[in-house]
Structure 1
Amino acid sequence: MGQVGENYVAIFGWRAQYGLSKLQIAYITRSPFQQLLQEGHRRRVVNAFLERFVDRRYAPRNNWCRDPTGRTRGEYDNLMQLIGGFSPGSNSSDSWRWVMSTNGIFTTKKLNNIIMEKVFEGEKSQPETSRKPLIPKKMEIFIWRARKKRLPTLCELDKRGIDLHSVRCSICDDDVENIDHALIFCKCAYDVWSRIYNWWNLGPYVNTSIAETFAGSVNQNMSKIGAKLWQAVEWTCGYLIWKNRNSKVFKNKSLCVASLVNEIQVLSFDWNSKRLKGPKIDWCSWLANPHQYLFIT
């Protein structure tokens, strides 16, 4: 909570369009003047804030039981600056106005847009294709969590004080399980990425971080449609690697690399072929030579 005047104007993002009223007086007498109220001067403190309009202008009655000092005085002066020039309309009624909207009307859609802008403002540097991907919403959320290192890997759980028997990777047991290891450097994950890159004829897989892996760009000359298709393959790959990891942790079952690659091929084709607006994708060419789709228009 900031100062009284500031709090009063923007409590939970709302602004009251009237002068001092019973609601305001109740707010003021609760905080931050507790030290005055505790001394049995509640009535005199309330009277000090009762409105008195002279020529339709607010004028406070400063009949304090004792003069406020320090922080209390500063808060009171700020409040007086805020409401000192207020003049109520003759026919206006009390109402609420939401300051985050130009028309002052609160809507859940507007609030949702504001939240999404704040949450994803760090993603503005990502390629344009990441804004309208061809994959389901749940996968977008997964990729965002992976980039922000907010997946519940064993290392992240250990950092948050959860007592674990071990933080080593449950798939390969070669290293501690952080996000980069779980999705990239685990032997199973790395083999899957290598086969996916080989399937798309992109050469060896050499990315060293989550940001590089999910960047969605492997060729500067690829078209926008090609970038969308490849992005869907990348994100599907990461999502299914994580899903396979969870299956191992919670059910003690996991797919082999070949089966995991086959599932990525089928699922990415299904989403791309159904969601892509434009040229049709052929299943046979998708399996045999998907590299051609990087340059499709």
Structure 2
Amino acid sequence: MLIFYLSFLKTPVKVWKQIVRLQRNLLWGGAGQDRKIAWVSWENICGPKNRGGLGIRDIRAVNLALLGKWRWRVITGGWKRELSVAEFDLLQDLLHVVTQSPLLEMEDSWVWTLDPTSSYSVKSAYLAITSVEAAPEQNSILTRVWKFWAPSKVIVLSWKLLQDRVPIRQNILRRRVFREASMSFCALCGDFVESVDHLFITCDCISKFWNNIARWLGFELVSPNNISNLFEWFLGLGMGRKSRLGWLLIWHAAVWSIWISRNDLIFDRGTISIESLVDKVKLSS
């Protein structure tokens, strides 16, 4: 129903901002009414997945692209009506000028240069409005997160993790949710600030966890500098597409298990065991 109205009416600024607000609140806060932290900018979220975005459509750009279809129909003759007297006089003046100029022996036509078919398409107009070229996928780690066998919520965690946009204690402190720096220490070891790289790589128990995973896979892991390097290490394990998908499934299972175990420790006062973490990864992958 929303698309129907967007196809015929230009949405007032106040309305589309309210729609975006509802989308943003649903994305970060679920069905609740409480306002949540937006960890990734809306502009990046609306970017296509092959450019590292989440692929959610910009409602304003969709509206303009749909309305452009009617303008295209008007100028290409797809929508005709009787000319008024004033318009008819203008047409006669135009024809008088045109007949005085040399013309090529071919029929003129409108061409939409943004689409290979030379005809207007809502998709090409949307990409033009959002300044996104319909080009091949970029060779970026964010574009490669989505092409693997894993639930969407698990892949979204990896997508946010590689951008350092997860509610790690260091990030929460930066947002001034914590008032004291002491509240930002790691939930697992309590000795260092809980950053993405610390929680998922350098924390003592997590470092042992990755070494156990590497031994299980039959590799020797050189401790990476950051989470992106670890992800690229998993990407480099597979020689073919199916093999690479399998290795990345293990990556998704590992980071998801770490994150869930960390949250259980904080909110449910659970415990973390390296052996149980490794077993979870084996079962999940």
TM-score band (shorter)?
0.5 to 0.7
Given the alignment, which residue of 195, 201, 213 partners 1:184?
201
Given the alignment, which residue of 134, 142, 154 partners 2:149?
134
Which residue of 1 is the match for residue 78 of structure 2? none
Deviation at 1:158, TM superposition (A): 0.9
Secondary structure of 2:235's match?
Answer: coil
Distance 1:129 1:229 in 2: 13
Which residue of 1 is the match for residue 165 of structure 2? 150
- Contact kept in structure 1, 2:186 and 2:194, CA below 8 Å: yes
Given the alignment, which residue of 156, 159, 162 partners 2:174?
159
Q: Give the aligned residue type for 2:244.
A: A
Distance 2:276 2:126 in 1: 43
Distance 1:243 1:122 in 2: 31
**TM-score scaled by length of structure 2:** 0.52
Q: Give the aligned residue type for 2:246.
A: L
Deviation at 1:190, TM superposition (A): 1.1
Which residue of 2 is the match for residue 217 of structure 1? 235
Given the alignment, which residue of 218, 223, 242 partners 1:206?
223
Which residue of 2 is the match for residue 289 of structure 1? none
Given the alignment, which residue of 268, 274, 278 partners 1:251?
268
Can you give the 5+ residue segments of structure 2 that lack an aligned partner in the other structure? 1-9, 14-59, 72-85, 92-113
- Contact kept in structure 1, 2:213 and 2:278, CA below 8 Å: yes
Distance 1:267 1:164 in 2: 37
The structure whose Rg is larger is 1
Q: How many residues matched?
A: 177
CA displacement 1:236-271 (0-9 Å, x = unmatched): 101110111111111111231101111110111xxx
Identity rate, percent: 20
CA displacement 1:29-65 (0-9 Å, x = unmatched): xxxxxxxxxxxxxxxxxxxxxxxx67459xxxxxxxx
Which residue of 1 is the match for residue 44 of structure 2? none
CA displacement 1:47-93 (0-9 Å, x = unmatched): xxxxxx67459xxxxxxxxxxxxxxxxxxxxxxxxxxxxxxxxxxxx
Distance 1:155 1:141 in 2: 20
- C-alpha spacing 1:178/1:232, structure 2 compared with 1 (3 Å): same
Q: Give the aligned residue type for 1:200.
A: L
Secondary structure of 1:149's match?
Answer: coil
Alignment of 1:1-297 (within 5 A): 12-13=60-61, 14=64, 15=67, 55-56=89-90, 103=120, 124-126=139-141, 130-165=145-180, 166-215=183-232, 216-219=234-237, 222-268=239-285
- C-alpha spacing 1:187/1:123, structure 2 compared with 1 (3 Å): farther
Q: Give the aligned residue type for 1:169.
A: C
Which residue of 1 is the match for residue 31 of structure 2? none
CA RMSD of aligned residues (A): 3.8
Can you give the 5+ residue segments of structure 1 that lack an aligned partner in the other structure? 1-7, 19-52, 58-98, 269-297
- Contact kept in structure 2, 1:214 and 1:235, CA below 8 Å: no
Structure number with the bigger relative contact order (C-alpha 8 A, sep ≥ 6) is 1
